[in-house]
A = this chain, B = another copy of it.
């Protein structure tokens, strides 16, 4: 049984976005609820688009010198950082208990950030992930045919720390995503940074490019970057803009044997090398090399998720960001 969690404040808000006009559509009559009263429904008009939802929890005893922003990856929402799919403490609560003010958000077009008409506002079509897709793509199970609808027949990577009993819950966190919304997402993250920071940003996977690019746009506001298996990078020509921001890059296990992850990691570490060449500080930690083994791409929900979080907390403290 843990100590009670004492919060100075909690709440939520939306940031960013813009208004878009839709015209020339037919007025409809819609019954919103079966047996309800029909209402005129005019689809023409002004729509709010591109906004982002942010939920925050501020600890009574603050230890972090600045807030910690958590940015999830593609096809996901901030739920990634909450309770793990098998019901354990997630990174959000861990960092909160360590004294960090935590801001957890849903990227634009996902979760409580809402999504806009497509292709009118969001170009292209959304992608939906099958239940099998993350099992193979996120280094949870065998990359070809490891997934089976029957949980007992799934082939996990040997020594995997992913909580097998939570996989079917994990896929309930998946949300549709587009591949055309990067700029909308970056704009909203910048709006969050302008509202909340100075801060530390921990970002995962697809948010690799968002974390680095937003820090390049607001270098004075970002005191450290924690890139958790970044699947994208910042503007290479402006790597020097990040030279005063300490960067930690984390990678899990099973990368060498994967068809895609060696390239993804090399792209990220090459970008790190550019930051270092410009005088910056980049620490790359391949978790197996420091004795933390079996991590999937979803290390914030792996069975050893708090061991990884502790490594991040220690690094932030070493960088002088904890009181």
Which of the candidate stretches A123-131, A151-159, A291-299, A313-321 sits at the interface with the other chain? A123-131
Cβ-based interface call for A106 (8 A) = yes
Cβ-based interface call for A39 (8 A) = yes
Indicate if the CB atoms of A33 and B130 lie closer than 8 Å. no
Closest approach, in angstroms, between the C-beta of A90 and any C-beta of chain B?
Answer: 8
Q: Using a CB–CB distance below 8 Å, which chain A residues touch chain B?
A: 4-14, 17, 19, 22, 30-37, 39, 41-48, 51, 53, 55, 57, 60, 74, 77-79, 82-83, 87, 89-90, 93, 106, 111-112, 114-117, 127-128, 130-133, 137, 149, 168-169, 171-176, 179, 182, 206, 208-209, 231-233, 260, 263-264, 267
Closest to A116 in B: B128
Q: How many copies does the complex hold?
A: 2
| List of B residues within 8 angstroms of A7 by Cβ | 4-7
Mind listing 20 A-B residue pairs with CB under 8 Å?
A4-B60, A5-B6, A5-B7, A11-B82, A11-B89, A11-B93, A12-B79, A14-B173, A19-B149, A30-B127, A33-B206, A34-B182, A34-B209, A34-B232, A41-B127, A47-B130, A48-B172, A111-B111, A112-B175, A114-B176
Q: CA separation between A127 and B31, bound complex, in Å?
A: 11
| List of B residues within 8 angstroms of A137 by Cβ | 39
From the candidates B5, B6, B172, name the one contacting A17 in the complex (CB within 8 A).
B172
Closest approach, in angstroms, between the C-beta of A176 and any C-beta of chain B?
Answer: 7
Q: CA separation between A211 and B88, bound complex, in Å?
A: 30
From the candidates B82, B87, B182, B233, name the one contacting A55 in the complex (CB within 8 A).
B82
Q: CA separation between A37 and B9, bound complex, in Å?
A: 42
Q: CA separation between A131 and B22, bound complex, in Å?
A: 12
Q: CA separation between A112 and B113, bound complex, in Å?
A: 9
From the candidates B87, B93, B233, B263, name the one contacting A13 in the complex (CB within 8 A).
B87
| List of B residues within 8 angstroms of A31 by Cβ | 179
Indicate if the CB atoms of B112 and A112 lie closer than 8 Å. yes
| List of B residues within 8 angstroms of A260 by Cβ | 37, 39
Indicate if the CB atoms of A33 and B208 lie closer than 8 Å. yes
Indicate if the CB atoms of A179 and B32 lie closer than 8 Å. yes
Indicate if the CB atoms of A79 and B53 lie closer than 8 Å. yes
Q: CA separation between A267 and B36, bound complex, in Å?
A: 9
